[in-house]
Amino acid sequence: MSSLRLLVSQIRYEQKTFWRNPAAGIFTIGFPIIFLLIFGSSHQSSKAVGSTGVSYDQYLIPAMLAYGLMNSCFSSLAVSMTIRRETGILKRVRGTPLPPYLFLGGVIGNSILISLYSTIILIAIGILEFNISWPVHLGAFFVIIFVGVVAFCAMGLAVTIFVPNADSAPAMVNGIYLPILFLSGVFFPFSKTSFLYRIGNFFPVSHFAQSLLGAFDQHSSGFGVAFHQIAIIAIWALIATWIAVRKFRWEPRK
Amino acid sequence: MEDVISVSQLRKNYGDFTALGGISFSVKKGEVLALLGPNGAGKTTTVEILEGFRAKSSGEVSILGMDPQCGGRKFKNRIGIVLQECSIDPFLKVHEVLDQRATFYHDAIASAELLALTGLEDKQYEKVKKLSGGQQRRLDLALALVGNPEIIFLDEPTTGFDPSARHESWQIIRKLCSQGRTVLLTTHYMDEAQSLADNVVIIAKGEIVASGTPETLGGRDSAATIITFSVPLGLDIQVAGIECTSEDRDSSKLVTIETLDTVETLYKLSSWMLENKIQPGNLEVSQPTLEDIYLKITSEDNV
């Protein structure tokens, strides 16, 4: 079988596994939807956010997209790959002629598909329910989503190196990504002068959400987003990939 | 027959710890080699080096003429591996797991054939997580066979099986050998080694302490025969000049004879019983079992 067909076949089986585990599906795709509906209904939509001119609803969509992508790339990859490593599934794969890059390609491809579903559903709800417009700067939108997906997947794979066993995987992964989401202003916005905002700006998620907001904003000009923010996400992607490639473990620690 | 596995002076160190201290053995095509030894002796380390999971520290390993460390895809295409722990994606169905595995190989065996071989036809549409432990283990074996492997590595393939499931697995393994495949297995069950292996290698503390066929291992074939039987209490058992020991039990006396001249001793013994009209209870004539030999070889004094 050619490499490309093998990759497609791997993604298909990964999708089967994902959808047959209802807990994974609900948590990964469902939570951002639920949060969007709760946050979206509990605020006054017309009220402007901080010093910007955007409404809260408009702010919320990119924020929930960031949450959705972190779920489907970072946390679901980190948890499922740790569990597979600890139960010996990864070792077993290494004992077959399937090249490791095709196995990882299948896993990442699965995450990309889930991100895609999540993104489409969230934007659809935004348009239907909260009167959000389709992203104005479409080119920028796709570039940001792409760079974000790559960065979050690489971070998800890299973080498995630090998770010691399957039992601690969900707790540790939540312990890492929920604070990052908070600090990145995904659940509620910070003023740009606050200390927490500056901490959050260290991570790629806030840059991801802010760039996306730019892509949705009719008032932003040109490409629609600040290139330095995309660069920061890309740097995270490179560093995480470098760590993952060097240190990824296929077997439990002895 | 050619050697399909050949290992010479294989060493493995973990820091200062020597896991394997230079072992050598070989396996011919179509043979079954059983690797025995106490926990921590180096069995799994050996198998994992041969499978390509671990790098050796020094020595030579050749599997089908390839070095497992550098063989890559070509090497993995020709071997099948059953690991000690059974780990199959729990949410996929049995036939899906087999079909998926088949996409990895050049020359895959049809899943129907493997399901029949491992007796899982009825379960092919079940999810893996619904299978019993024994069924998962059989699926594990089926997965190892998908690539039509020339060499199969089985690391404790029947641990935790009930007796009939173990015998069924042995049947499968024998069938594989009759197809010309070579099997290297590790086990803690001596009857498994006795029943399947052409050759046995016993490892202890990273060294080979004995090797040979199950029948001759450790001088088993030339060891003393042990004859035991019981007679009523109080009976004088000076048996026609045969040296023996006796021990009083609750209602009878247990007599044990150790002899190198089995036939003559049995002749004398039975004549004595006939003449004196003695009905012996639980008469047993035994050579040391593989287990006896194994325990003797691996006991602390010897290692």
What is the tens place of the pLDDT at every residue in B230-272? 888 777 666 667 778 878 887 888 888 888 888 888 888 888 8
Q: Give the tokens for residue B30.
A: 């179509």
A196-208: per-residue pLDDT in tens?
Answer: 888 888 999 999 9
Q: Which residues of A touch B105 (CB under 8 A)?
A: 96-97
Mean pLDDT within A49-71? 80
Contact (CB, 8 A) for B9 and B22:
yes
Any A CB within 8 A of B92 CB: yes
pLDDT at residue A116 greater than cutoff 80: yes
**Residue B249 pLDDT:** 80
If you average pLDDT over each of A182-196, B119-133, B283-297, which comes out highest? B119-133
Contact (CB, 8 A) for A215 and A225:
yes
**Residue A253 resides in a domain:** no
Q: Give the tokens for residue A56.
A: 């809260």
**Residue A20 resides in a domain:** yes
Burial class (CB in 10 A: 0-12, 13-18, 19+), B49: buried
Cβ B73–A99 below 8 Å, yes or no?
yes
A233-249: per-residue pLDDT in tens?
Answer: 999 999 999 999 999 99
Q: Which residues of A touch B87 (CB under 8 A)?
A: 87-89, 91-92
Q: Which residues, 6+ apart, have CB-to-CB distance to B207 below 8 Å?
A: B21, B22, B23
**Residue A49 pLDDT:** 62
Cβ A87–B147 below 8 Å, yes or no?
no
Q: How many Å lie between the alpha carbon of A114 and the closest alpha carbon of chain B?
A: 17
Any A CB within 8 A of B285 CB: no
Residue-range domains of chain B with CATH: 3-219 (3.40.50.300), 224-286 (3.30.70.980)
**Residue A133 pLDDT:** 80
Cross-strand pairs, B248: B253
User: What share of chain A has pLDDT > 70, as a percent?
Assistant: 93
Nearest residue of chain B to residue A12 (CA atoms): B100
User: What share of chain B has pLDDT > 90, as a percent?
Assistant: 52
For the sheet with B3-14, list strands across it: B17-28, B3-14, B58-63
pLDDT at residue B302 greater than cutoff 60: no
Q: Which residues of A touch B127 (CB under 8 A)?
A: 20
Nearest residue of chain B to residue A1 (CA atoms): B103
**Residue A46 resides in a domain:** no
Tally A–B CB contacts below 8 A: 57
> B137, B127, B54: which is closest to B97 by C-alpha?
B127
pLDDT at residue A50 greater than cutoff 60: no
Nearest residue of chain B to residue A89 (CA atoms): B87
**What is the Cα–Cα distance from A113 to B9, expressed in whole angstroms?**
50
Q: Which helix (H) or strand (E) holds B32?
A: strand B32-36
Contact (CB, 8 A) for B86 and B160:
no
Q: Which residues of B touch A95 (CB under 8 A)?
A: 51-53, 76, 81, 83
Helices (H) and strands (E) in chain A, counts: 12, 0
Place of tokens 């004995």: B210
pLDDT at residue A46 greater than cutoff 70: no
A192: Cα separation from own chain's centroid: 23
Average pLDDT of chain B?
Answer: 89
Buried b (16+ CB within 10 A) or exposed e, A138-154: eebbebbbebbbbbbbb
Number of domains present in the structure of chain A: 1
**Residue A139 resides in a domain:** yes
**Residue A252 resides in a domain:** no
**Residue A112 pLDDT:** 94
**Residue A211 resides in a domain:** yes
Q: Identify the domain containing residue A87 by its residue range.
A: 3-40+54-247
**Residue A195 resides in a domain:** yes
Cβ A17–B81 below 8 Å, yes or no?
no
Buried b (16+ CB within 10 A) or exposed e, B219-255: ebeeeebbbbbbbeeeeeeebeebebebeeeeebbeb
**Residue A47 resides in a domain:** no
A80: Cα separation from own chain's centroid: 15
